[in-house]
């Protein structure tokens, strides 16, 4: 597909907000609904720093991602799928708690703590995680991969609802030399291990072993590959099919994507072999948009990159399958966000949600089945220090670096034309909604800039 054609394709899938439709040729994928009430296994697969345009099902032509694509083909692809921040740690805090992470001060990647923060930097201990919720419903819970929600022992995943852990605690890791001896070792449980395999392959191996160990009763697996976050490292066997890619950064990125995609294929294969495929709810999402200059990713046609609140920072590849319950080949156009994962997983599992706090996520199942026609979210907000954004219907108001723009995402998915001057009433409405939301959020507990000053009137 030529570049322009791909742009047109992606623009095309951003249009027609509010409709659910089945892709031509995929009607045969439609699953028979059953009345079966068996709790599904639940797997949440997270990619790291992927470009919006770097999966084949979103127009990528130089890297094939057949296994990630298969989740969309056999389930639902969200064309307006968001994360709650443009960088790694806050977006994971939102995902695992089902809440705006600004409610509890987890607004930035780890940085210097505010004075008096005795527990240190990590997902505040007051928070309930998706693993806590699912474990309370009898699920065996495991995480394989990157945690990035605190390195102190009290923030360890096995203190946050997970029965099992294999991975690393910080935000990035060497792939080709995982080894021992660093301050950020690969760990099994709480013990460092001398891992020898290419890290993406090691995570796939451990994910499959987890499924094998727990195949006889419901499990939750949080599979958080650090691919395709830097450092850019891929063995020759994953890069050698990309000789036609002249940019060496992009070539290595392609190899890293391939390792993850093939790994996901092996996980799906394991589920099929174990007879669990139909009854497993699987999400796939990237934790933020691509840092294009850093890792060779491609966010086209979206504006900007990771660490911004433009679409290139927060709109990501996002899809879900559950063959037993959800039709395949569906595009879902209403905005959804990663904290919907917890609410959806809890509903699928029959798990109780915490009742002593505000959750922001929505159970998407009735929306995806067509039972509910309205948008799951009337409005969505983002805040990173002084920068903020609001999405309501087709409109998005973005303030970055002191500059505010209003965009119509249906006619201008690339946020290229600021129409604030033409639509001052819309801009004012969204800004007021933001101020109201902002007044309910906490100050950041660490790092970055001070949060946006609250209005005193």
Q: Which one of the spans 44-52, 209-217, 322-330, 403-411 is the region binding Ca ion (CB under 5 A)?
A: 44-52
Tell me how far, at minimum, the Cβ of 448 lies from Ca ion, in Å: 16
Which of 41, 45, 48, 74 forms a contact with Ca ion (CB under 5 A)?
A: 48
Of 48 and 333, nearer to Ca ion (C-beta) is: 48
| CA separation for the pair 393, 409 (Å, rounded) | 9
Of 41 and 338, nearer to Ca ion (C-beta) is: 338
236's CB contacts (< 8 A; 6+ apart) are none
| CA separation for the pair 416, 418 (Å, rounded) | 7
Mask: binding to Ca ion, 75-114, rule CB under 5 A, as x and -? -------------x--------------------------
- Closest residue to Ca ion: CB criterion: 88
Q: What are the structure tokens assigned to 114, written together? A: 């505010």
Tell me how far, at minimum, the Cβ of 211 lies from Ca ion, in Å: 25
Q: Which one of the spans 42-50, 377-385, 390-398, 423-431 is the region binding Ca ion (CB under 5 A)?
A: 42-50
Of 227 and 281, nearer to Ca ion (C-beta) is: 227
Is 451 exposed, middle or buried (CB count within 10 Å of its CB: 0-12, 13-18, 19+)?
Answer: buried
Is 404 exposed, middle or buried (CB count within 10 Å of its CB: 0-12, 13-18, 19+)?
Answer: middle
In contact, 171 and 149? CB cutoff 8 Å: no
What DSSP designation does 455 have? P
Of 49 and 127, nearer to Ca ion (C-beta) is: 49
Beta strand 379-384 pairing with 336-337: unpaired
Which 146-185 positions form the footprint of Ca ion (CB under 5 A)? none
Q: What are the structure tokens assigned to 410, written together? A: 């249906």
Which 191-210 positions form the footprint of Ca ion (CB under 5 A)? none
| CA separation for the pair 6, 147 (Å, rounded) | 34
- Whether 88 sits among the annotated catalytic residues: the reply is yes
Catalytic residue among 106, 148, 229, 388: 148
Of 41 and 299, nearer to Ca ion (C-beta) is: 299
- Whether 148 sits among the annotated catalytic residues: the reply is yes
Q: What are the structure tokens assigned to 7, written together? A: 């742009």
Of 270 and 287, nearer to Ca ion (C-beta) is: 287
Which of 49, 163, 360, 412 forms a contact with Ca ion (CB under 5 A)?
A: 49
| CA separation for the pair 435, 173 (Å, rounded) | 38
Catalytic residue among 57, 60, 85, 88: 88
3-state helix, strand, coil split of the chain in percent (to 5) is 30, 20, 50
| CA separation for the pair 345, 303 (Å, rounded) | 31
In a 13 Å sphere around the CA of 402, the CA atoms on its Cβ side amount to 0
Of 129 and 288, nearer to Ca ion (C-beta) is: 288
359 binds Ca ion (CB under 5 A): no
Mask: binding to Ca ion, 266-305, rule CB under 5 A, as x and -? ---------------------xx-----------------
140 binds Ca ion (CB under 5 A): no
Q: What is the SS3 assignment for 216?
A: coil
Considering CB under 5 A, how many residues would be counted as binding Ca ion?
5
In contact, 227 and 48? CB cutoff 8 Å: yes
333 binds Ca ion (CB under 5 A): no
| Site residues, Ca ion (CB under 5 A) | 48-49, 88, 287-288
Active site residues: 88, 148
């Amino acid at each position: 597909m030529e570049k322009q054609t791909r742009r047109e394709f992606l623009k095309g899938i951003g249009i027609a907000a509010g409709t659910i439709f089945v892709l031509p040729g995929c009607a045969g994928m439609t699953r028979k609904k059953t009345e079966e009430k068996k709790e599904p296994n639940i797997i949440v697969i997270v990619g790291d720093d992927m470009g919006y345009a770097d999966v084949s099902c979103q127009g990528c032509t130089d890297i094939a991602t057949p296994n990630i694509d298969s989740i969309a083909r056999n389930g639902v692809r969200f064309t307006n799928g968001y994360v709650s921040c443009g960088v790694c740690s806050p977006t994971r805090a939102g995902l695992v708690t089902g809440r705006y992470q600004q409610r509890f001060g987890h607004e930035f990647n780890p940085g210097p703590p505010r004075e008096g923060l005795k527990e240190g930097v990590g997902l505040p201990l007051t928070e309930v995680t998706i693993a806590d919720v699912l474990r309370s419903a009898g699920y065996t819970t495991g995480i394989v991969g990157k945690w990035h929600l605190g390195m102190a022992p009290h923030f360890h995943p096995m203190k946050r609802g997970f029965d099992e852990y294999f991975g690393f605690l910080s935000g990035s890791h060497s792939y080709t030399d995982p080894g021992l001896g660093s301050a950020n070792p690969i760990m099994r449980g709480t013990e460092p291990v001398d891992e020898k395999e290419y890290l993406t392959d090691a995570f796939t191996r451990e994910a499959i072993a987890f499924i094998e160990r727990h195949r006889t009763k419901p499990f939750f697996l949080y599979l958080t590959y650090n691919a395709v976050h830097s450092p850019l490292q891929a063995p020759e066997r994953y890069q050698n099919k990309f000789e036609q890619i002249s940019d060496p950064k992009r070539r290595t990125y392609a190899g890293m994507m391939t390792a993850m995609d093939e790994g996901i294929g092996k996980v799906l294969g394991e589920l099929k072999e174990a007879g669990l495929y139909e009854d497993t709810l699987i999400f796939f999402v990237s934790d933020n948009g691509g840092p294009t200059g850093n890792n060779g990713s491609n966010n086209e046609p979206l504006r900007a990159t990771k660490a911004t609140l433009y679409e290139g920072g927060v709109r990501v590849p996002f899809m879900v399958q559950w063959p037993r319950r959800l039709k395949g080949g569906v595009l879902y156009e209403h905005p959804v966000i990663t904290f919907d994962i917890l609410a959806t997983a809890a509903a699928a599992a029959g798990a109780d949600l915490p009742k002593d706090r505000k959750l922001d996520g929505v159970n998407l199942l009735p929306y995806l089945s067509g039972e509910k026609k309205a948008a799951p979210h009337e409005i969505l907000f983002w805040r990173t220090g002084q920068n903020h954004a609001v999405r309501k219907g087709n409109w998005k108001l973005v303030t970055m670096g002191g500059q505010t723009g209003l965009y119509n995402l249906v006619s201008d998915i690339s946020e290229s034309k600021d129409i604030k001057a033409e639509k001052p009433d819309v801009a004012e409405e969204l800004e007021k909604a933001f101020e109201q939301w902002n007044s309910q959020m906490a100050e950041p507990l660490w790092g970055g800039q001070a949060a946006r000053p609250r209005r005193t009137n």
